[in-house]
Amino acid sequence: MPSDFVLGVDGGGTWTRCVVMNLKGEVVSTGRSGPSNPITMGVDDAIANILEAVDLAMTGAGVFEFKASVLGLAGIARSYLREEIASRLPDSYGKTMLVSDARSALAGATGSKPGVVVIAGTGSIAYGINEAGSEARAGGWGWRLGDEGSGYTIGNNAVIAALRAYDGSGPSTVLLEWILDKLGLSDANDIIDWTYAKDRQPRHFAEFVPFVKKAEREGDRVAADIMYDAGTELGRVTQAVIKRLNLRGGFPVACCGGVFLQPNRYNVAFEKTVRQVAGKCDFIEPLFSPTVGSGLLALESVGVVVGDDVLAGVDESLRCLDD
């Protein structure tokens, strides 16, 4: 019997989240597990976390198969990873499409409309689609090669600033004391061992972001500069997408990810930099999460038109789940 449900998955460097939706766009169940970025976690762990999150959602909905599935995964632009992951997904997922987490984020943020989405979580990326359907992305090269303005970059720069404060090559900052306390260390030299530990992941550095924001609020100049510089860098990445797509007027720019929370100098620097090339753009709050965005893309893949009625169904069903 054909399934009347679709699956949407959002997998990143910290969590894997998924939704089960019916063909009206109503979310009937959700699931969550650990990270599923195949680059940082490896394919085996990524697959395991995807399956865990989806199994939870399927059990919650009493659903055993899907008409279609869309998985928005960080790092999936690499074709060999896409093919390996796709080959190991169950047949019960139905017609399956793997897209970048940025594509899912844009669909969720704008309700599957053209515009730009900027993600600043553990990693970062800017992605956009114009009215003609052309796509462009910038950044998102991973923690070794970029991820400008990301939680990883901010946390890593905080550690560098703390060590420079310790050896006298940089200004003093409360970040040194706070990072040592966070790690349970008494000597700044031990930060080196922590940093180069074999199991160290970008998400571990991103955990310092709340400390940097707190230090900024309390007047720490080093922390404020770290946040402002990070916002400026991500703004430049976003400029590249806007220019390549030749976007004009009041197109939406949606900002997603934990780094954008609790507005501060980061947000100010980001918006200022973007407006240098797009003075009339409209900074918006995302309508829905990237997870829901994957669900909307799954609906479109089976011919469902994502209009106001579908978006209203998504919104109402999410409110019911929250209650």
SS3 (DSSP) at 79: helix
Which pLDDT does position 323 carry in this prediction? 63
Share of the chain above pLDDT 70, in %: 98
Q: What's the CA gap between 90 and 21, in Å, rounded? A: 18
**Residues β-bridged to residue 252:** 282
How would residue 306 be classed by pLDDT, with cut points 50, 70 and 90?
very high
Domain range 151-284, its CATH number among 3.40.190.10, 3.30.420.40, 2.130.10.10, 3.40.50.150 = 3.30.420.40
CATH superfamily ID and name for 5-109+288-322: ATPase, nucleotide binding domain (3.30.420.40)
Answer yes or no: is pLDDT of 199 > 90: no
Specify the residue for token string 């865990």. Answer: 52
Average pLDDT over residues 126-153: 91
Domain boundaries of the chain, sorted by first residue: 5-109+288-322, 151-284
What does the DSSP assignment read for 127-157? Answer: EEE-TT--EEEEE---TTT--TTSHHHHHHH
Average pLDDT, the chain: 92
Q: Let me know: does 20 contact 55? Beta carbons within 8 Å.
A: no
Q: What is the pLDDT of residues 84-138, one digit of tens each?
A: 999 999 999 999 999 988 899 999 999 999 999 999 988 899 999 999 999 999 9
Per 3-state DSSP, what percentage of the chain is helix, strand, and coil (rounded to 5)? 50, 20, 35
Q: If you average pLDDT over residues 290-316, what whole number do you get?
A: 95
pLDDT tens-digit series, residues 225-265:
999 999 999 999 999 999 999 999 999 999 988 899 877 89
Q: Which of the listed ranges 76-80, 254-258, 280-284 does the model predict with the highest average pLDDT?
A: 280-284
Using one digit for the tens of pLDDT, what is the confidence trace for 9-55?
A: 999 877 899 999 999 999 999 999 998 988 878 899 999 999 999 99
Mean pLDDT of 195-205: 90
CA distance to 31, 114, 128, 164, per residue, from 243 (Å): 37, 15, 11, 37
* Single-letter residue type at 147: D
For residue 288, what pLDDT is reported? Answer: 95
CB 239 within 8 A of CB 276: yes
Q: What is the rounded CA–CA span in Å between residue 310 and residue 302?
A: 14
- Report pLDDT for 1: 44
Q: Which two tokens stand for residue 83?
A: 């093919």
Q: What is the DSSP letter of 97?
A: E
- How far does the chain reach from its first CA to its final CA, in angstroms? 32
Mean pLDDT score, 132-148: 89
Could you read off the pLDDT of 56-71 as tens digits, one per residue? 999 988 999 999 999 9
Helix (H) / strand (E) containing 312: helix 308-322
Q: CA angle, 225 as apex, 221 and 226 as ends, to 5°? A: 120
Tell me, what's the pLDDT at 79? 66
Which tokens go with 299? 């609906």
Q: What is the pLDDT of residue 2?
A: 57
H or E, element range at 165: helix 151-167
The yes-or-no answer to whether 5-109+288-322 and 151-284 have a common fold is: yes
pLDDT computed for residue 183 by the predictor: 95
pLDDT band at 286; cut points 50, 70, 90:
very high
Q: Please tell me the predicted confidence (pLDDT) of residue 163.
A: 97
DSSP 8-class letter at 200: -
